[in-house]
Amino acid sequence: MQKLVLALAAPLIALNAVAEPKTAAPNRPVAYFAANCANCHGTDGKASGAIPALAGRDRAYLEETMQAFKTGARPATIMHQLAKGYSDEEIAVLADYFAKQK
């Protein structure tokens, strides 16, 4: 049983190692948050379809836009619902992450 637990834990530990160590929420690495956006905005925010790319965008713009979705100031089809799931601190961390992608 212990071996099974170790086998299950190993990939999690490996995933942790690639995530940025210094985030506002150390228990939940920023890569986990960013992965929530990948389905629509592409891996690391590099979208190529109709949904706007996030990679390399202005950090302040990304943060302000997420806040505007969250408060409802900016109308959206989907993002207003998603943005409500993130704290202000998490939004800041996400904006920082995507702004740093090439």
Least distance from ligand HEC to the Cβ atom of residue 19, Å? 16
Contact between 93 and 26 under an 8 Å Cβ cutoff? The reply is no
Mask of contacts with ligand HEC, 30-69, x by CB under 6 A?
A: ------xx-xxx---------xx-x-------x--xx---
Q: Which is nearer to ligand HEC, 26 or 85 (CB)?
A: 85
C-alpha 30 chain-centroid distance: 6
- 25 lines the binding site for ligand HEC (CB under 6 A): no
Residue pair 99/53 in contact by the 8 Å Cβ criterion: no
Distance, CA of 41 to CA of 20 (rounded, Å):
20
How many other CB atoms are found less than 10 A from the CB of residue 58?
A: 12
Give residues in contact with ligand HEC (CB under 6 A). 36-37, 39-41, 51-52, 54, 62, 65-66, 76-79, 82, 94
